[in-house]
Chains A and B, each alone.
Chain A
């Protein structure tokens, strides 16, 4: 009967579905095969994290070098403690670098940008950024401007 050709067509159908899944994975979501990378953890404390969210990006000189894992409130210092996973190969961040919260573009996803310091020593796993700059607060900026500072 037409059983054979039916089987073939159904097989093609399932393959098409699989191909669609692959396309969605690679082209649409940019899943890269080497994403199971080694990372190490760094911390940073901010007075105001603004619109920063987990999964946000951590970049240095415009290149993505890690992701934000979590943001928690430190109940002792009343600061926000951000946990970041940095790619293992970026292991020579100078110890006096600063973590700065920046906004990208107009629709504004906020991200952490690492501003390079000059120290010869590097940050190790588990270290905390010494200096940080909090998110730009629009109201404060306007009031600063208005009061002529």
Chain B
């Protein structure tokens, strides 16, 4: 019995130590701002790998989610005779919530796990060590560009998601189900506020992007340098990122959209 409690205590301490390490790690990454000449091409390369290559999954998901929102929304609203409110329903749902959150979850699954696996593999094949021995700081050269790329790419992906979703919803609502196009856009415009909705959604996606990218690169950097270790780290990235995004979403929504 005492062993179990001691084990639990050890686990708790290990978790806190891990938080501490990841904080130190983050500080090391942010403090080592790369020189513009060398850092910028690295950033571009990572933006491509993280952002552009995630576009496919984001666009397809956005389209389908938007279309489903259109379908479901129409069914529900037609009970109240308010089908013309479908535009604002889709837009608000996407811009405030689904855009940032779903994009972040997709990002964690696709780009986050790829980042973790890549950095973990570099650690396991001693590439990071050899970089250190050559006098190059791997945090600056390998980790920082990837962190910044995730941080910059996420908001872009979230906005593209929202736009594609709204367009998908329009396809279903206006073209297929016959909602009047003018009222679709008109109601949307009168109820979506740029600062309160679009900008808040944007802020959310920036925060999510930062957190997902941080978790992904940290798990890769901190993993046990074996193939089992890498796969475990990749799983952890996806799980922790998803939980963090959903938890933060609640906090941010309460702060931004609550009335207190």
Residues of A within 8 A of B (CB): 3, 6-7, 9-10, 13-14, 16-17, 20-21, 23-25, 27-31, 55, 105-107
Give complex CA distance A9, B52 in Å: 8
CB-based contact B194/A25 at 8 Å: yes
B55 interface residue per 8 A CB criterion: yes
CB-based contact A107/B80 at 8 Å: yes
From B52, B166, B192, contact of A10 by CB (8 A) = B52
| Residues from 119 to 140 in B contacting A, C-beta threshold 8 Å | none
In order of increasing CB-CB distance, the 5 nearest A-B pairs are: A30-B189, A17-B156, A20-B159, A29-B192, A29-B194
Q: Using an 8 Å CB-CB cutoff, how does the interface string of B76-99 with A read, 1 for contact, 0 for none?
A: 000011100100000100010000
CB contact under 8 A between A17 and B159, given known A3-B41, A25-B198, A105-B82: yes
From B80, B159, B185, contact of A24 by CB (8 A) = B159
From A14, A24, A55, A106, contact of B81 by CB (8 A) = A106
Known: A28-B189, A28-B192. 6 other contacts (CB 8 A): A10-B48, A25-B194, A29-B192, A29-B197, A105-B82, A107-B85
B138 to chain A, nearest CB (A): 22
Q: Using an 8 Å CB-CB cutoff, how does the interface string of B22-52 with A read, 1 for contact, 0 for none?
A: 0000000000000000000100110110011
A73 to chain B, nearest CB (A): 16
From B41, B47, B95, B156, contact of A16 by CB (8 A) = B156
Most buried by B among A9, A17, A27: A17
Chain A residues with CB under 8 Å of B197's CB are 29
| Residues from 40 to 73 in B contacting A, C-beta threshold 8 Å | 41, 44-45, 47-48, 51-52, 55
